[in-house]
Amino acid sequence: MSAARYDAIVVGAGAGGGVAAAVLAEAGKRVLLLERGPALSFAEVGRDHLRNQRFSQHGHNAGPALDGNPRVATDAQGKTRLLRPHEGGYHNNAAIVGGGTRVYGAQAWRFLPNDFRMASTYGVPEGSSLADWPLDYDELAPYYERAEWELGVSGNGAASANELPRERDYPMPPLPPTTQTRILRRGADALGWATTPVPLLINSVPHDGRDACIRCQHCVGFACPVDAKNGAQNTVIPRALATGNCELVTNAMVTRIATDGAGRASGVDYLDRDDMPQEARAEVVILAAGAVETARLLLNSATDREPTGIGNSSDQVGRHLQGHAYTGVNARFAEPVYDGLGPGVSIATLRFNHGNDGIIGGGMLADEFVILPIIFQQRYLPPNLPRWGAANKTFMREAYRYVTDVKGPIQEIPSRKGRVTVDPDVRDRYGLPVARFSGTTHPETIRTAQFIQDRAREWVEAAGAIETWSTPPRLQLFGGQHQAGTCRMGDDPRTSVVDRRCRVHGHDNLFVADGSPHVTNGGVNPVLTILALAYRTAEGILRAW
Amino acid sequence: MDLLTITQQTTLRAAIDRIIPPDQFPGGWEVGVGDYFARQFTGDLAAFVGRYTVGLDALDALARQGDTIPFAALPTAAQDQLLAQIEADVYGGELAQFFALLVTHAMEGYYGNPENGGNRDAVAWQMIGFEVRG
């Protein structure tokens, strides 16, 4: 079998992979973009309330298939559980063209300047692996701006200019406020807290040849009915394909990174949609499979030269897994907060991301997307409410439009113990060792989370909530849709996997372009940082070519 | 639904209508929660059929023990009382867990999207004010 030859191979057609493919293809490089899942239409993603990325009781709408793709979770006692993709602890992200961006809520936050220097700002708590990024906000700012403009973000840059300095406003104004926005703004005003419209990778006005958001109720967890949600699948990937230089192959499961005798990446081997083995060879290989699968692929690509996995000579691949511990407060108001308008999330404060006395980091607080009725029933009931019967039904009827929650992604304090390895026994349908999770982030995460939860309660009470309830934050591993950290970026190969160009240490043509290089994962949604970093990495590859 | 005996089906129906009782809006059975179960028992709930047959039998047997009549024939207040006792673990953890499962699944049928078999004509959504526009 002769291998197909390309200039570059990108593994994973999500946020980072899409950007890398576009930048390289637009520069004339011949790119092979491999995606393990299919490209799904709006109808195929569907609107099943019981099987989606937000509520996966019985399955998913964006892959991977429930059978044949297990993972293994390990608890503190070392006991293992075999998990299917829709089960808790699997840390799933969508496995389709567009990756998570096909079905996300599309919050488009930049990390704050201090998010890049956590260790020097706060010190390093004992037992944590908190560290500074080797690059700073100013270095990433031009790439943030490029992501905002090339994919399309709606927002109001002036409203967050103190926390997120910028040279250029967003390309679109924010979506108009809802009742929920106004009620929460009232509370923030009473407290003297600055707020900002939530920046969204959603068209507030017609943009880039596509329509504006129609304010539907099925945004996060689903695909957009009018294609107003900007993800890799309707922006950078079409641009890459339009050059004629990029070939997108779907249902292609990469089985290993191929290396030559000197250990240099020479391409990848993959199984095509018919499970037939294929080989592709290239000058440059870019991994963008998500923090779990990218780490797994490196570990599963062990060679005689690197017997514990590519890039893993310092035992760093898969460590420092982070996502976001979300905490917040549910609140019932005397007046309706839900007016029927999606997407729902609309107002945020960045006041508590940093500078909290005695607390390491913090997190952004924002309101919630439209809550699906079944999610409301299963996750939003006050603790003293009967789980069934007349009182339950009455609450559903009387409270659904009167309840919302304010919550936020807590900046997790990483630990080298929170990690992805590959399981010695369990294999997937392709015969590959599956991802195995163990450990958690550092317990400081919980102190931060509790602090932020208290601020959330303060906010909703100032806004007029008549009743609030919440569950206490609990230390556990979070990966899922915000997964990051498993191929830490750093200058020292002993404590990191990739260098500041996101190039795997010791491999001059192997790069990572997803959330894996994030040293820390900020206290905001990470997708814009993944996009920005991918722009920077791809530009760096071109400059050195 | 032919995976359940007639008695089990009758018990299930009665239990569903106590979990989501009719008031000015329809109860669970009327809007198709039974159809949800019927469909899912050969689908995503197939693995649970055994627990349902055992659990529904146990529920009915408790009613016959106490009041010598089937669960489905008890007055609704007595049904509620028995279910509350089950929930409170009076009759052991296994039955309590079965009831929690039954509640979870019944709610999925009632508040889930109509395409899953329950929530006919999106009645539950109309009741709470979740309107699908666009």
Residues of chain A neighbouring B26 (CB-CB closer than 8 A): none
pTM of the model: 0.98
Structure tokens at A308: 């514990």
Neighbouring residues of A408: CB distance < 8 A, sequence distance ≥ 6? A326, A327, A328, A348, A352, A363, A364, A365, A366, A452, A456, A523
The mean pLDDT of chain A is 97
| Residues A321 and A444 sit within 8 Å (Cβ to Cβ) | no
A61 to chain B nearest CA, in Å? 14
Structure tokens at A295: 């780490």
| Residues A408 and A384 sit within 8 Å (Cβ to Cβ) | no
Long-range contacts of residues A158-166, Cβ cutoff 8 Å, at least 24 apart: A159/A194, A159/A195, A159/A196, A159/A197, A160/A196, A160/A199, A160/A350, A162/A194, A163/A112, A163/A350, A163/A353, A164/A109, A164/A110, A164/A112, A164/A350, A165/A113, A165/A137, A165/A141, A166/A110, A166/A141
What are the pLDDT digits (tens) for A180-219? 999 999 999 999 999 999 999 999 999 999 999 999 999 9
- Give which of A293, A475, A348, A328 is closest to A404, Cα–Cα: A328
| Residues A74 and A438 sit within 8 Å (Cβ to Cβ) | yes
Residues of chain A neighbouring B18 (CB-CB closer than 8 A): 388-389
ipTM, 2 dp: 0.98
Q: What is the mean pLDDT of residues A132-137?
A: 98
What are the pLDDT digits (tens) for A345-379? 999 999 999 999 999 999 999 999 999 999 999 99
What are the pLDDT digits (tens) for B14-52? 999 999 999 999 999 999 999 999 999 999 999 999 999
Residues of chain A neighbouring B128 (CB-CB closer than 8 A): 373, 376, 396-397, 400-401
Contact B107 A393 (CB under 8 A): no
When CB atoms are compared, the residue of B20, B108, B134 closest to A393 is B20
**How distant, in Å, are the alpha carbons of A17, A155, A312, A344 from that of A200?**
20, 7, 36, 11
The yes-or-no verdict on residue A447 having pLDDT over 90 is yes
Give me the total of CB pairs closer than 8 Å, taking one residue from chain A and one from chain B: 90
CB atoms within 10 A of CB A307: 9
pLDDT band at residue A1 under the 50/70/90 scheme:
low
How far is it, in rounded angstroms, from Cα B12 to Cα B26? 17
What are the pLDDT digits (tens) for B83-133? 999 999 999 999 999 999 999 999 999 999 999 999 999 999 999 999 999
